[in-house]
Structure 1
Amino acid sequence: MKVLLFLLLASGLCFAEDGLSLDDAIKKVKEQNSEIAIAKFDEQIKSLEHQAAVGQNYGSVELSQTALRSNDALSIFGYKLQSRQATFADFGFKQFTGSNYMQTPEDLNNPKDRNHFQTKVEYTIPLYTGGKLEQYGKITKALEAMSTLDREAMSLQKIYELKKSFFAISLLDAYLYNLHIIASNTAKLEARTEAMMQEGYVKKVDLLEVQSKQADVERLINQAEANRKLLYYFVSFLVDESIQSIKGSYEDAQTLLVADERLLNDNLEIKKAEQSVEISKMNLAVQQSAFLPQVGAFANYGSSDDKYMNDFSKNDAYTVGLQVKWNLFNGGSDKNSLEKARVENLKATQQLGLAKKNIALSLKQIQTQIQNHEYEIKSLKKEVELAHLIYENYAGRYEQKLVSINDVLIKQSEELTKVLRLREVQNARNEKIFELQKLASKEMQ
């Protein structure tokens, strides 16, 4: 058993040198984690949406190319006017004489088929929209900032999960070390009991009790190793590559020392709630713009002919214009939309206040839990040390036939229970410290 224990420790030390460190794992999570990558894509999408919204302020330029053929009298007359090719004959004047002035002009009403090609470039630009476009730009910028906060929150969450896993693995390794020591001690006790049974000092039932206890310890070892393997699977999932071992020892997380006020100022959830309030104010301004006039300008330049690009400059033409639109009545829809925006702003403001209260409460709860865990850990370490000494004392007294094997196993169970409880509380303390770091938007170990 000593040889087995030595090999276990040696392999653990080897893994500690060759495995993945927490700092490297955090880098890999930031670069390779799929959920963070998706959050980065969302952030990029919001950035492009903002650029698209800002681009509307610069108007648009459109090139259109039209190719038509028709024998419709009105269309053909219009085509000729656009091509600057209309003549008096198109009005039927060549049929006009004193005796037939009441006849229908054939050239005007039944013209021949005609092709029409038109090339036109048109530029339109909004001059005044009541602040709507400006607010759309601000809203999309705020949404971009919100997506950045979402990405940072996702990164903190994955790092939180990673650190929990690293420290849980270290604590499991320490727990397994204790279990193997207990298993080694139980094996020694089994050997002593078997020797004493052969000499007639104890009964077989004593040996069976020891063997049963050994089987129970081995069961705990197998469970811990299975949980350890599962944790490695989870770490591999987080960093998106296979991880077989970790480098370093991570049992006691570093306590976060930061002022409560600073923590609340840095908290991402509060920042997101503040951003929501700002967005609701911008949306309120957007709805108010519906009561203001909309002013736009346009200019176009083009050329028309019955042949494609025949003589562009000869038949070219331009048009410039200005348009003012003012919605005076639409059944009260704008008024209701404005009122809805006001209510949404009030709601967002209330949610911000609630978020601050919730985070402040969570902060106090976590700080209290960490403090309680630290008190319990301090006490449990002494209890574990005492329980081990008591077990060794009872094991020695058993050899002197002063106590029963049942008394020895009871003391061993008490030691095992204390060890397990110590590891559980250490793990719970680490988890709360990592929750506090996430609450403070910190990535420290």
Structure 2
Amino acid sequence: MKKIVGMLLTALLLNASDITVSNSLTLNEAIEILKSENLEIKTASLDVDSAKAEVQTASGNHWGKLDFVQDYANSNDAGNVFGFKLTSREANFNDFGFDEFLAQMGGLPGNSATLLATQPKNLNYPDARNFFQSKLKYEVPLFTGFQISSYVDIMESMTKMKKLEKKQVINEKIYQVRKSFYDMALLRNSTKNLNTILTNIDTLENMTEQMIEVGYAKKVDLLEVQAKKGNVQRLILQMESNQKLLYHYISFLLNQKVENISTTSASVSMPVFTNEDVLNNNLDIQRASTGLEVRKSMVDVSKSSYYPMVGAFAEAATADDTFLGSADDHKAYTVGARLTWNIFNGGIDEANVEKSRIQHIKTKTQVELAKKGIALKVAKIRTEIETYDAEIASLEKELALADEIYANYEGRYREKLTSMSDVIIKQSEQIQKILELQMAQNKRNERIFALEKLANGENK
């Protein structure tokens, strides 16, 4: 019996929260609060939002980018100064030293070699100049070998994956809430049965005291009754402590303090969905199938290396030695396109495609393995539930028999046909059957919840 009680005590472990729900909370109300307040579900929702943003990031590459660039420079470098003037459309002949050239034009023709060898000071030693250039530049990919669209498909599949993961978190938390409610119902039912036994012990204690007064019973009989009474009171206290632990755990799940819940049946009804329903709804299989979609898109990304990359650009700019000075007169534009096509890279592209193709085949095999694994789990759980159903039916009959036997031995003790030790033994057997029945019902409920989890929490 101690072993059974110990297993019951270690079945539930939990924490506490802040906001208080003082009214009697139903299971459906608890599930609704869970969906909106549970911190793990909120975290999973943020992961979904982040994945959606990744889709927008990947899709945005289709539209290219528009940049505004503002440059400022100051230099007396000959090449820079001449380039600055040329860019701002302000270069003149004097920049080439034509003033020095014309000043020597009156010389004799024989001096032409000397004239050509003259280094123009204005060109080689210009004054320092400021340079302001304002530029708008737009670049857009025209064809990327379906690379961008493949990345968008991957990000959309990853978003789908995050949504499935969120469903799994919700599914798991609902499972924990439901199990906690049914565990509470079992504890309350067992406590009720133990209180009934305690009432019987009180009656037996009063009867023993009366029989001692008239000499029909001994003091040791009373001590046996009182010892058994203390044992039952201890069990009731343990049951009540487990209920407090369950309240802490439910409060943790709902992210608010819960002080009272409403329970009905302690037994979960058997779901009626088929094995095919389980396979169609199972989240692990859906995630594996989504992973297969990702692998297929990765093959497409690898194949994009075989195609040329084509892009276009356009820019408009204005430049001056002051910010936006004579902007309209100094404006300029450039448009162009570029094609890049890798012809040979040592077979790396082919190797990458083959690697992606193998990963795709591997993932496809894993999807089939996941389906067979889930089917095996379903068959195992259904067999376990059938076993627990038979065990519970047997234990219910054994408990009914133990109740009758105890009542019979109590009557026989009054007639001094049996000892108090025999009565206590029969009562111990009665208590043990109650605890064994509770454990079997708890295991059956847990297996049914596990079956519902495999079917995405569907309870059809």
Deviations 1:187-220 (CA, angstroms, capped at 9, x unpaired)? 2212222332333333322222222111111111
CA distance in 2, matches of 1:168, 1:42: 32
Correspondence for 2:387: 372
Correspondence for 1:205: 220
Structure 2 gap ranges (5+): 1-21, 105-111
Contact kept in structure 1, 2:75 and 2:128, CA below 8 Å? yes
CA distance in 1, matches of 2:408, 2:24: 39
CA distance in 1, matches of 2:221, 2:239: 27
TM-score (norm. length: structure 2): 0.90
Superposition deviation, residue 371 in structure 1: 1.5
Correspondence for 2:431: 416
Indicate the SS of the match to 1:202. Answer: coil
Match runs of 1:78-117 below 5 Å: 78-96=83-101, 97=104, 98=112, 99-117=114-132
CA distance in 2, matches of 1:375, 1:162: 26
Contact kept in structure 2, 1:159 and 1:443, CA below 8 Å? no
Contact kept in structure 2, 1:58 and 1:125, CA below 8 Å? yes
Q: 1:122 to 1:137 in 2, by over 3 A?
A: same
Correspondence for 2:12: none
Letter in 2 for 1:437: E
2:50 to 35, 45, 52: 45
Correspondence for 2:209: 194
Contact kept in structure 2, 1:121 and 1:300, CA below 8 Å? yes
Correspondence for 1:5: none
Indicate the SS of the match to 1:127. Answer: strand
Match runs of 1:4-403 below 5 Å: 18-96=23-101, 97=104, 98=112, 99-403=114-418
Superposition deviation, residue 421 in structure 1: 1.2
Letter in 1 for 2:216: Y
Deviations 1:7-45 (CA, angstroms, capped at 9, x unpaired)? xxxxxxxxxx94100000000111100000000000000
Letter in 2 for 1:31: S
Q: 1:215 to 1:180 in 2, by over 3 A?
A: same
Superposition deviation, residue 330 in structure 1: 3.7
Comparing 267-276 with 364-373, which one deviates more in the overlay? Answer: 364-373
Deviations 1:44-88 (CA, angstroms, capped at 9, x unpaired)? 000010011011101111111111111111111111111000111
Superposition deviation, residue 103 in structure 1: 2.6
1:431 to 446, 457, 460: 446
Q: 1:20 to 1:444 in 2, by over 3 A?
A: farther
CA distance in 2, matches of 1:158, 1:399: 53
Indicate the SS of the match to 2:258. Answer: coil
Superposition deviation, residue 271 in structure 1: 0.5
Superposition deviation, residue 332 in structure 1: 4.3
Letter in 2 for 1:242: K
Indicate the SS of the match to 2:332. Answer: strand
Indicate the SS of the match to 2:201. Answer: helix
Percent identical pairs in the alignment equals 42
Deviations 1:118-170 (CA, angstroms, capped at 9, x unpaired)? 11111111111111001000000000011010001110000000000000001
Q: 1:414 to 1:71 in 2, by over 3 A?
A: same
Letter in 2 for 1:164: K
Contact kept in structure 1, 2:273 and 2:459, CA below 8 Å? no
Tell me the number of residue pairs that the alignment of Structure 1 and Structure 2 aligns: 429
Superposition deviation, residue 443 in structure 1: 4.6
CA distance in 2, matches of 1:185, 1:338: 78
TM-score (norm. length: structure 1): 0.93
Aligned Cα root-mean-square deviation (Å): 1.5
Correspondence for 2:18: none
CA distance in 2, matches of 1:443, 1:21: 19
Deviations 1:319-343 (CA, angstroms, capped at 9, x unpaired)? 1111011123445443333232122
Comparing 193-202 with 145-154, which one deviates more in the overlay? Answer: 193-202
Contact kept in structure 2, 1:437 and 1:443, CA below 8 Å? yes
Letter in 2 for 1:283: M
